[in-house]
Amino acid sequence: MRALALALVLLLALPGTAYAQGGHDPRDLRDLARKNGIRIGSAVDVAALRAEPDYRAALNREFDHVTAENAMKWESVEPERGVHTWDDADAVVRNARRHGQKVRGHTLVWHNQLPAWLTAGVEDGSIGAAELREILREHVTAQVRRYRGQIRAWDVVNEAFEDDGTMRQSIWLKHLGPGYIADAFRWAHRADPHARLYLNDYNLEWSVPKIEATLALVKELKAQRVPIHGMGFQGHLGIQYGYPGDWANVMGRFAELGLEIAITELDVRMELPVTAEKLATQAEYYTRALTDCLSVRACEEVTVWGFTDRHSWVPEWFDGEGAPCLMDESLAGKPAYDALLALGKVSGR
Ligand code: G3I
């Protein structure tokens, strides 16, 4: 007993320990997540996971949740009809299991990154509506069943609406009608009754027509007893656009419908060159996003869409913009990373 007490005192006295610092500053994002009763995740670039030990070490040190950036998309898992290539997706899931990370599956039904055999077949009419619906059912069922019990949450339907609140005229809407959404959720639930099933979209942080249309869809799905469990806010922000000040309130409105909430693809890009001032604004946006999520009891996860500027989609898609991540190309924490850790324990969870 005396030895234990002594050890405790020594621990308290040791410089550098949490207690000695008194501020309980978390040592990394996993620690921050644990202290606040939330999950903090990152999208995973599978090529970097395989080839870059420093990338892999940082991913597994910092994050308790992961999303495959591209490896689980339809074009990646079924490049030829009936020929499945799961290796990349398996590699993300295997790494996650080894490092105590939960996994978000991304994404089952989307208008982008579809295999050419599918889009060509629909276009030339060789795949008709009935067959397309059957192909979609088989795809959702096969992928969800393969990872049954290994995926915490699926982005079942991604980007179903335009910013003006109209339904996106995707291959799914055009050929299957709006019922494709309810179908996909039901098929996914049948294949894994324990996975949390999400609708996921961008600009939902601020676009009022899109917010209202998505809320109306969720109410409709709930009324039809469709197994929808969560709303994913992608959160692709830019410091040149101002921070979406009503975000927490919008999250709250979806939570009132009984949904879990997640920020699924957070990044904060800037017009280059990088300056200290822009980095300070970026840090403010990241801390506000986390704080907004923590202010909504139903918000359980904040995932960044890549954690290092070495691997980000932004430069390819936004000319003259970049540096959207928490760490720079050498994996050094940027002011945003330090600002998140400095938040410490902010939630009463
Ligand atoms: O697979 C090919 C490879 O064979 C080829 O050698 C290489 C060179 O051109 O391109 C590879 O395809 C790239 C693919 O990512 C896989 O890496 C495409 O060019 C590239 O455009 C594609 O970009 C992805 C983008 O979705 C496509 O829509 C981004 O990495 C990915 O971050 C981005 O993620 C989306 C989310 O899924 C949904 N929300 C928005 C988010 C950002 O657009």
Contact between residue 198 and residue 262 where contact means Cβ atoms under 8 Å apart: yes
> Is the pLDDT reported for residue 16 higher than 90?
no
- Rounded Cα distance between 108 and 141, Å, is 10
Q: Atom of ligand 1 at shortest distance to CA of 76? A: 1
Q: What are phi and psi of 268, to 5 degrees?
A: -130, 95
> Is the pLDDT reported for residue 20 higher than 50?
no
pTM above 0.85, yes or no: yes
**Ligand 1 mean position, distance from CA 33 (Å):** 28
Q: Atom of ligand 1 at shortest distance to CA of 313? A: 32
Nearest residue to 118 (alpha-carbon basis) of 129, 105, 104, 132: 132
**Ligand 1 mean position, distance from CA 296 (Å):** 31
Contact between residue 160 and residue 198 where contact means Cβ atoms under 8 Å apart: no
Q: What are the pLDDT digits (tens) for 326-335?
A: 999 999 999 9
- Rounded Cα distance between 190 and 188, Å, is 5
- Rounded Cα distance between 95 and 60, Å, is 8
Give the residue numbers marked as catalytic.
159, 265
4: confidence class by pLDDT, cuts 50, 70, 90: low
157: confidence class by pLDDT, cuts 50, 70, 90: very high
Give the pLDDT mean for 145-162.
Answer: 98
Ligand 1 shell residues, CB under 6 Å: 69-70, 112-113, 158, 202, 234, 265, 313
Burial class of residue 63, CB neighbours in 10 A (0-12, 13-18, 19+): buried
Tell which one of 49, 50, 66, 70 to mutate to probe ligand 1, the residue whose CB is within 8 A of the most ligand atoms.
70
